Structure 1
Amino acid sequence: MTIYVVANCKGGTGKTAIALNLIPHIQPDLIIDADAHKSITFLLETANSLIELRQAKSKEDIIKWCAEDKTILIDCGGFDSAITRYAISQADFIITPTSDDPTEQFGLVVFNDVLKEVSKMVDCHLVANVLLNKVHHSRTNFNDFKETLKSLEHTNLLNVVIPHTAAIPQAAFKGEAVKSGSLPIKFENVIKTLI
């Protein structure tokens, strides 16, 4: 089975919103909440979700649960921790939301260093699939952002851009993914691009 990890060491990048909107396209058997704030847990409880949900309290939880023969989605917190690092180490695909804001680009530099260290730990070159998120609808040129990523050996920019929109938090308040318009297609394309 496949393990998808949504991670970025910087807070506020939209990790939980991205994870929530990937659920219909991944159709996970298990969701692991690796965030101390338990955001995805609260959202899915609001929706009375039937997907199995577990809250990781240790790196041992991550290792044990990722050994199960299940399609797993892990939502990480916005900080560097042993739980986040072990989640990353188990990933088949790492999805890293970020906006095109310069401060978030600095966060990617830090995350690249984390990926470098975890890559050494597992003796495998790990790559974060960077997903531009919360982008103003008029922004179409990302050359400056691409230049930053060129120097980061553990990142790959996805060709999908998630715009800043009220639809995502409106759906999230119900514990749901966005179900109409072009957004579900964008999230489906994220998974298609990875696979």
Structure 2
Amino acid sequence: MVITFSHPKGGVGKSTLCLNYLVYLQDKGVEFTCIDLDGQNSLSNANKLRAMHDAKTFDIQTFASTDALIKFIDSHASENLIIDSGGFDSAFNRIAVSMSDRVITPLSDSPFEVMRLMSFDEILTDIEKELRKSKADFAIKTHLVLNRLNPSTKLIDSILDPFRESKHYAFMDSIVRDRTLIKYSPTTGKGVLESKIRTSSDVAAKNEILAFCKEIDTL
């Protein structure tokens, strides 16, 4: 199973969600390899922090060429590969999306994020057109998860409405809101599920992350 966390814009919480999913898999005893394609090397840096804070590290791979990336995914496709793609359009990220069984994309109520995801729809169409030259029925579906929403936000439909007509987007049931624990637990390289719970907001953060990770397993 190849799962890619992808978004065409940086700083949207993609790597944080990916980190928390890695911790979830680790807690379950699931073997996996993480591929870090993010230009900021967020997960690779988090892995260094984990080592410094005596947390179990992840198996993380990086690649200098697209050929090496393709060969690795091809030869390990039957295993659990979790990819953190970069926050931009590149050959690496297009390969990751096109070779994935599942694509997870965070969505907030930021107008700029919404606009960027609408253009991401065009990128997905381009990838489909290229791949359909060799596989006529090739199609991409990315699962949108509402992320970093203000805890008081209730008008969910208005956030999702711009994407309802797209053939590429499906909506996850999970909602991950803007919680202090989610935002700051990566400062030690850790995820929410392995962090100390001190407040009711922390409890909510843990429940939301756990629900999100469990939903990925059902997609």
Q: Hey, what's the Cα distance between the residues in 1 that align with 2:5 and 2:19? A: 10
Give the 5 Å matches for 1:106-117: 106-117=115-126
- Matching residue's letter, 1:52: D
TM-score normalised by structure 1 residue count: 0.92
User: Is residue 149–residue 157 contact of structure 1 (8 Å, CA) maintained in 2?
Assistant: no
CA deviation digits over 1:43-78, x for unaligned, max 9? Answer: 111102432111122222321221213201100111
Q: Aligned residue for 1:155?
A: 169
Question: How many angstroms does 1:190 deviate by?
Answer: 2.6
Q: Aligned residue for 1:5?
A: 4
Residues 177, 149 of structure 1: CA spacing in aligned structure 2 closer, same or farther, 3 A cutoff?
same
Question: How many angstroms does 1:193 deviate by?
Answer: 2.8
**Structure 2: any 5+ residue segments left out of the alignment?**
133-137, 198-202
Judging by fraction of residues, say which structure has more strand: 1
Give the 5 Å matches for 1:132-171: 132-171=146-185
User: Is residue 21–residue 184 contact of structure 1 (8 Å, CA) maintained in 2?
Assistant: no
**Structure 1: any 5+ residue segments left out of the alignment?**
none
Q: Using the TM superposition, name which of 182-191 and 164-173 deviates more.
A: 182-191
User: Is residue 28–residue 51 contact of structure 1 (8 Å, CA) maintained in 2?
Assistant: no
Question: How many angstroms does 1:28 deviate by?
Answer: 4.9
Q: Aligned residue for 1:62?
A: 69
Residues 187, 56 of structure 1: CA spacing in aligned structure 2 closer, same or farther, 3 A cutoff?
farther
Q: Hey, what's the Cα distance between the residues in 2 that align with 1:188 and 1:4? A: 17
Q: Aligned residue for 2:211?
A: 189
- Matching residue's letter, 1:93: R
Judging by fraction of residues, say which structure has more helix: 2
* Sequence identity (%): 23
User: Is residue 34–residue 83 contact of structure 1 (8 Å, CA) maintained in 2?
Assistant: yes
Question: How many angstroms does 1:192 deviate by?
Answer: 3.4
Question: How many angstroms does 1:122 deviate by?
Answer: 2.9
Cα RMSD (Å): 1.6
User: Is residue 56–residue 83 contact of structure 1 (8 Å, CA) maintained in 2?
Assistant: no
User: Is residue 28–residue 73 contact of structure 1 (8 Å, CA) maintained in 2?
Assistant: no
User: Is residue 103–residue 141 contact of structure 2 (8 Å, CA) maintained in 1?
Assistant: yes
Q: Aligned residue for 2:200?
A: none
Q: Aligned residue for 1:39?
A: 42
- Matching residue's letter, 1:193: E
Count of matched residue positions in the alignment of Structure 1 and Structure 2: 194
Match for residue 73 of structure 1 among 63, 82, 98: 82
CA deviation digits over 1:69-112, x for unaligned, max 9? Answer: 32011001110000000000111110001211111111111111
Match for residue 53 of structure 1 among 53, 60, 81: 60
